[in-house]
Structure 1
Amino acid sequence: MTDTASFPGTAHRRAPLDAAQILHLKLEGLALAVIGLWLFADTGASWWLFATLILVPDLSALGYLAGPRRGAVFYNLAHVFTLPALTIGVGWVSGTSLVVAVGAIWWCHVAIDRAVGYGLKAKDGFDRTHLSL
Structure 2
Amino acid sequence: MNKILLHLEGVAILLLSLYFYSYNQFSWLLFFVLLLAPDISMIGYLFNNKVGAVLYNLFHTYSLPIGVVILGVLLSNEVVLEIGLIWSAHIGMDRMIGYGLKYPTHFKDTHLNRV
TM-score by length of 1: 0.82
Deviation per CA, 1:74-119: give whole Å up to 9, x if none: 0001100001001101100000111111100000000010000000
Q: What residue is the counterpart of 1:127 in the other structure? A: 108
| Greater share of helix | 2
RMSD: 1.1
Task: Count the aligned residue pairs.
Answer: 114
Gaps of 5+ in 1: 1-19
1:67 aligns with 2:23: no
Identical aligned pairs, as a percentage?
A: 39
Higher strand share: 1
Structure showing greater radius of gyration is 1
Could you tell me how far 1:40 is from its partner in structure 2?
1.2
| Aligned pair partner of 2:5 in 3, 24, 31 | 24
State TM-score, norm by structure 2: 0.95
Of 24, 36, 49, 1:43 maps to: 24
